[in-house]
Chain A
Amino acid sequence: MVNVIWFLLIAIGIIFSFFTGNVDTINNSILNNGKEALDLVLSILPIIVLWTGILRIAEDAGLLKRFAKLVEPLLSHIFPDIPQNNKALGFIASNIAANMLGLGSAATPFGLKAMQELQKINDKKDTASTPMITFLVLNTAGVTIVPTTVLALRIAHGSANPSEIIIPGIIATFCSSLGGLLLDYFIRKRRRV
């Protein structure tokens, strides 16, 4: 699937630019691409390293296990396949909480750790497990309560009421999460029968 997306993005881009005579732009794009990827990695590297450090303290001190136990009644309905008291639940809950507060960059390390824990209980290591997909859906639907970047930009452009979009945003994000979770639930149910 990633194969197909990757192929389509590149093939459509290059072939279309040949037809429209945009070859110069594509040429530059290909040559400068690597640097942009490196910049992206470099910009998230310190955050990931710092937070995995802090998270390890929480893990070693037993805080994460306690947190996982706390949120289990809530999350076990959404993730029936994760065993009780698994650390993954703690990471998943932390990731969702960070996303909700609009701390996108802090949410990523939690998500990566959650995926690692889920991989430990995955039977086929090259195939996405059901809890992984559910977590991903929850993550891409992005339950955001405080969209920090959007608020900052609205303020920068002189909005009279920057925060007026928060409530509509919450409604939209809630619907997209619910929609994703429902579809995920029905697919899971059909496959099991």
Chain B
Amino acid sequence: MNTLSKIVIPVFVIFVIFYGFKHKTNIYDSFLEGAKEGLIITFNIFPSIIAMVFAINIFLDSNFVPFILGIFQNFFELIHIPMEIMPMALLRPISGTASLAIMNDIFIASSPDSYVGRLASVLQGCTDTTIYVLALYFGSIGIKKIRYSLAVGLFADLVGITVAFLITAILF
């Protein structure tokens, strides 16, 4: 599986270049045009990234999430959900780096092959950072009114997280 994902990119690049060459496209000029466009895109998303990193970091550094989770601790223990996993489940839609860091901590504390370790692995792989993707994609084209997109995105995350809990409990 790992070799497959390593092969994909080089094969894709050679295929595109070969195809362009064969169809007598000026591939070098096209590349430069596209690269210039990429610079403009990055330039356009910079403000929304700064804004989001700013807000997310303040939120994370305030330790508000552990505080909230502490209140519900008894409830989670009652339904047999390991406490270590909750910050990760809660932060997954907000920050990819934060949830990855928590997963790393879990691996160190209880090994990747423990129940929590497996649960963390499935969680990390099953959803993406909704709020980041939303800010990035909509920010890049200047969308201000996002309508119901956040609700649906978070709902998908919730489904993914719930299924991750269930499937790990059943399979392992």
Contact = CB atoms under 8 A, between A and B. Distances in A.
Interface of A: 1-2, 5-6, 9-10, 12-14, 16-17, 20, 22, 25-26, 28-30, 33-34, 36-38, 40-41, 44-45, 48-63, 99, 101-104, 106, 108-109, 111-112, 115-116, 118-119, 124-128, 132-133, 136-137, 139-142, 144, 146-151, 153-154, 157-169, 171-173, 175-180, 183-184, 187
Closest 10 CB pairs of A and B: A56-B34, A176-B160, A180-B156, A52-B38, A147-B125, A142-B128, A179-B159, A172-B126, A13-B58, A49-B38
21 contacts: A2-B146, A5-B131, A9-B56, A16-B62, A20-B62, A22-B61, A25-B62, A29-B58, A37-B46, A48-B42, A52-B35, A52-B38, A101-B5, A112-B136, A127-B143, A133-B147, A137-B156, A153-B112, A172-B123, A172-B164, A175-B160
Given A153-B107, A172-B164, A179-B156, A51 B38 contact: yes
Contacts of B143: 119, 126-128, 132
B61 to A, nearest CB: 4
A34 B47 CA distance: 11
Contacts of A118: 141
B34 A53 contact: yes
Interface stretch (B15-23, B73-81, B82-90): B15-23
